[in-house]
Structures are given as structure tokens and as C-alpha cells.
């Protein structure tokens, strides 16, 4: 299932920074290009799709 562009909210659990990004959804996977938070956190993130 190809859906196109979606909005994604990313919240860093380490420093509290929030990011709102657009990404492409293709077959259930969402790609935004986001690599890491500004505090260099890579793994401790909350990621959710905004409707």
C-alpha cells in the first residue's frame, strides 16, 4: 500500500526536544531522513504519526 506524504512527530526522551517532520510512507514504513536529535540521541525517541 503506497500512501504518499505523512506528518511525523518525534520527541526526544533525553532532552525533551520535539520535531515535526514530513515523510514518505511506503508499505507501512515511514522515511523522514531523521538521523539523531541535537543532543546526539539516536535510540531513545518517541515517534508517532499525526493524522
Per residue in 6-24, pLDDT (tens digit) is: 999 999 999 999 999 998 8
Q: Strands across the sheet with 18-26, in order?
A: 29-31, 18-26, 2-12, 45-50
Tell me which DSSP letter residue 23 carries.
Answer: E
Q: What is the pLDDT of residue 4?
A: 81
CA distance 43 to 51: 24
Q: What is the pLDDT of residue 19?
A: 96
Q: Where residue 46 falls among pLDDT bands split at 50, 70, 90? A: very high
CA distance 35 to 44: 12
Q: Where residue 25 falls among pLDDT bands split at 50, 70, 90? A: confident
Q: Does the pLDDT value for residue 3 go beyond 70?
A: no
CA distance 5 to 28: 12
Amino acid at each position: 500500500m503506497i500512501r504518499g506524504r505523512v506528518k511525523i512527530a518525534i520527541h526526544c526522551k533525553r532532552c525533551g526536544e520535539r520535531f515535526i517532520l514530513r515523510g514518505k510512507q511506503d508499505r507501512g514504513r515511514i522515511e523522514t531522513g531523521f538521523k539523531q536529535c541535537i543532543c546526539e540521541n539516536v535510540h531513545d525517541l518517541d515517534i508517532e504519526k499525526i493524522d
